[in-house]
Amino acid sequence: GLWMSPQDISKELDTRFPGCMTGRTLMVIPFSMGPVGSPLSKIGVQVTDSYYVLLSMRVMTRVSPDIWRHLAHGEEFVRCLHSVGVPLPAAQPIVNNWPCNPEKTMVS
CATH number at residue 45: 3.40.449.10
Q: Does residue 24 belong to any structural domain of this protein? A: yes
pTM of the shown model? 0.76
Q: Does residue 57 belong to any structural domain of this protein? A: yes
Has residue 108 got a pLDDT over 60?
no
- The pLDDT tens digits of the residues spanning 71-105 come to 999 999 999 988 887 777 877 776 665 556 666 66
Q: What pLDDT is stored for residue 30 in this prediction? A: 98
In which domain, by residue range, is 31 found? Answer: 6-104
Q: 25-34: b or e for each residue (b if 16 or more CB lie within 10 Å)?
A: eebebbbbee
How many of the other CB atoms lie within 10 Å of CB of 50?
19
Q: What pLDDT is stored for residue 32 in this prediction? A: 97
Q: Does residue 58 belong to any structural domain of this protein? A: yes
Rounded CA separation 51/66 (Å): 21
User: In a 3-state reduction of DSSP, which class is residue 49?
Assistant: coil
Q: Does residue 18 belong to any structural domain of this protein? A: yes
